[in-house]
Structure 1
C-alpha cells in the first residue's frame, strides 16, 4: 500500500489538530506538521502565508507541541535547522508524540549530530533528495535516512503546480535503486491525478501547499478530509503498478 502524507502548519488555526484527525479519518498514513519558523526559506508563498498566520496567532514550538493530537496517526515534524539543532529538541518531539522529523536546510555533511539525537529519542530523521543530486550522494542519503526518503520533485520551493515535474519519475527511480526505504515524492502535487502519477513511480506522496491553500481560503476539517480522501483513492488506484 502506498503512503499518503498530508501537511498542516501547526497553530495555523485554533482547531488545527482537528485537521489532523480529519486527515487520519480520510486514510492518511502519516501527517507532516510544520513547526512555524520566521524564515521558511524552502517554502513557497502558500506555506509561508500559513506560517505567518500561525506566528501572528502566537504559535510557538511550545504551543504546537502541547496541542498536537496524540495516538491518532504518526506525526512527522518539519522545521528548520535553527530550531531542530537545539539541544533536547528531538526528545521534546518524542514527548509530544511525534515519530519523525524533516529538516530541509540541514546538509548531509552536518546531520550526524542531529541524527544521533533523533535516534536516541526514537525519532526517524528523514533526509531529502533533489533531482540534481548525484547517484553516489543519493545512495548516502538513502543509507543515512530513517523512516523514508523525501524526494523533492523540483528544484524550487513548495507550491501548487499544474503538472508533475518530468524530473520526478527519474529521481524516484534513481532513489529506489539505491535504498530499501520508502521513497515519498513531494513538492507540487496538487490534484488526485498528480498524486496517482507520483505514486506510480514512488512509494507514496506528500501534499502540502494544495491543502494549506484550501485551509487559508476557509476550508474546515470535513472539507479538507474529503480532499485528502480523493488523494487516498487516487493513490490506492495505482497499487500493483510498476514503481511500487
Structure 2
C-alpha cells in the first residue's frame, strides 16, 4: 500500500541514516516554478516530498507557509492542478514518495471518492490532513486506506500515552512528530527532548517516526536525524523561495536553485548523522 514511502525508509536504513522529507507548496509562487522545484527535489536529496495543498485558512501553519498558500491561490492553483503536478512529476520520477499535506475542506469540496481515485492515479502515496482527528476517521482516513493511500497522522508534545493509541490506530506510512507546540516555523526544538519523544512513540508503533517543525539548517537536521527515522523541513525552504522573489513577489532565475541548493545542504546534514542505537 505504501510502497514508495516504505522503500524510502528502507533505503535510508540501509545507509544507516534518517530519511529526508521536504515540504513545498504546490503552485508557489506560480505553477511552472513550483513544478520545476518539485522535479528538482529528488535530485537534491529528498527521499519523500510533502506537497502542500493551498488553503485559505491554514490554522496549523505559520506566516511563511500561510503566505506561500496565498501566493499559490492568487496564481490560480487548485487541488485539481496539484494532482496534475504530481502526475507530471511521475513522468520523470516513479520512486520518490509524495504525500499531499493540508486541510480537509478542499478535499471535501472536490469529493472524497473522486479525490482518492484521482490522487492514486496521479501517483500520490499518502495524505497528511491536519484538521481531521482520529474521531473523524470515517470521513477520509478509512476511505484513503481502502483506496491504497497512506494516512499519516501527527503526534505532538501534548499527545500523551493515553491519547497515542487513538492517534496511531489507523495511521500508516509514518508518524509525523511535531517537535514543538504551536505553528510551523515558530521555534527551534530541544533535540534531546525530541529524541526521547520519538523513542516513546516508537514503543507504541513499528512505523517510522519523522520529526518536523523548527528544523532550519543542516546542523538542526543532523541533530534531529540522530534520534529519528526521518527529518522534515518546510518553512526554511519556503523562506528561501520567498527571499528569491522580486519586488512584486514573482519568481526570478534564482528561485528554483534557492530551494534545491538549500535542500542539498540539508540533505548533507541528514546524511552526516549516523543513526543512534536508540533510533
Structure 1 residues 32-47: aligned runs within 5 Å: 32-47=50-65
Q: Are positions 1:158 and 2:181 aligned together?
A: no
Q: Secondary structure at the match of 1:135?
A: coil
Q: Are positions 1:228 and 2:263 aligned together?
A: yes
Structure 1 residues 156-195: aligned runs within 5 Å: 156-159=182-185, 161=187, 163-165=188-190, 167-195=193-221
Q: 1:20 aligns with which of 26, 38, 47?
A: 38
Q: Name which of structure 1's ranges 18-27 and 32-41 shifts more when overlaid on structure 2.
A: 18-27
Q: Which residue of 2 aligns with 1:214?
A: 240
User: Distance in 1 between the 2:220 and 2:186 partners?
Assistant: 11
- Runs of 5+ unmatched residues, structure 1: none
Q: Secondary structure at the match of 1:201?
A: coil
Q: 2:80 aligns with which of 58, 62, 73?
A: 62
1:14-41 deviations in Å (ceiling 9; x for gaps): 3212112221001211100001111101
Greater Rg by CA:
2
Q: CA RMSD for the aligned pairs? A: 1.6
- Runs of 5+ unmatched residues, structure 2: 1-11, 13-17, 245-253
Q: Are positions 1:29 and 2:47 aligned together?
A: yes
Judge conservation of contact 2:112–2:140 (CA < 8 Å) in 1.
no
Q: Which residue of 2 aligns with 1:130?
A: 156
1:198-226 deviations in Å (ceiling 9; x for gaps): 11111111110000011111152233222
Q: Secondary structure at the match of 1:185?
A: strand
User: Distance in 2 between the 1:194 and 1:40 partners?
Assistant: 25
Q: Following superposition, which runs of at least 4 residues in structure 1 exceed 3 angstroms of deviation?
A: none
> How far did residue 228 of structure 1 move?
1.1
User: Distance in 2 between the 1:16 and 1:243 partners?
Assistant: 37
> How far did residue 136 of structure 1 move?
2.8
TM-score normalized by structure 1? 0.93
Equivalent residue pairs, number: 243
Q: Which residue of 2 aligns with 1:84?
A: 107
User: Distance in 2 between the 1:84 and 1:243 partners?
Assistant: 38
User: Distance in 1 between the 2:186 and 2:256 partners?
Assistant: 20
